[in-house]
Each structure stands twice: as C-alpha cells, then as structure tokens.
Amino acid sequence: MKLSVVGIGPGAADHILPAAARVLGEADTVIGYKYYLQFVQHLLRPGCEVVGNAMMEEEERARLAVAACAPGRHVVVVSSGDAGIYAMAALVYEHVASLGERGAAIELQTTPGISAFLAAGGKLGAVLGHDFCCVSLSDL
C-alpha cells in the first residue's frame, strides 16, 4: 500500500510539476480539498476514486487517506502549493506514525510542488534571492 502527498502548485495548470502529474495518474484514490480537485481531474485515470471535503478539514483528510490505504492500492492526498510547506504532508506523516506497526506497512512519499510564495514572487518581479525567511503561522 502506497500513500503519496502531492503538491499541485498555486493553481495554474503549467505550475503542476511533471512528477506530480505522474503520481496523480497512478492513483487509485485521490483525496483533497474539493476546490483544489478541479485542477487535477484531467490528470486522473478513469475509475480513480475522488474524495473531496471542505476547507479546514485537513486532519480529516489525513485520517481518510490512511484509512483508504489497502494492499495494492495507491492513495494520493493533494495539497495546493508545496505539500510540505503549510500543507498536508506533516499531518499525513504524523497520522501514519501514530499507527505504529500498521503505519510502518504504508509506503509514504511526498512529491513537491511550486509554493505560492515562489510563484507570486516570480510573477511580481520580487524574486526571493540571497537570504530570505519563510515563517508558517499554522497551528496544524
């Protein structure tokens, strides 16, 4: 059983990395915030189960993803931007780790995405160069 957390970038189709598109195309189940799922529908194979829920239900998405894991299945959790920056990767990894032995049987992977702060900086001509700091104020 495989569980992937995939960053889909800041929303534009050309900001979805090829590695993310490949992982999405291999998924049996895709779970994410229902608004974000519209940006990846075209990348999913026929028959892929799609589970969307509301904003602020990040912990529930992590629980749903782990519960959907089964032998021979590939579950993907989508996240906007980069999956590891103020996103779903940490929640999913923490939930899997809390399962002990059952969690050890799940093959985890994270596929990075383009973070919105990087895309915005490039678009605005305010690229992040030299030294910079990014601070997440999330409580998740």
> Could you tell me where the DSSP H helices lie in the chain?
18-26, 34-37, 58-68, 88-97, 101-104, 116-124
pLDDT at 75: 98
**What token pair was written down for 117?**
């702060």
pLDDT at 109 > cutoff 90: yes
Of 9, 59, 10, 1, the C-alpha closest to 31 is 59
pLDDT at 118: 87
5 CA to centre of own chain: 4
Average pLDDT over residues 37-43: 96
Average pLDDT over residues 69-92: 93
Counting residues of the chain whose pLDDT is more than 70, the rounded percentage is: 98
- Residue 42's CB: how many other CB atoms inside 10 A? 10
The CA distance from 18 to 30, in Å, is 17
User: What SS3 state is found at 85?
Assistant: coil
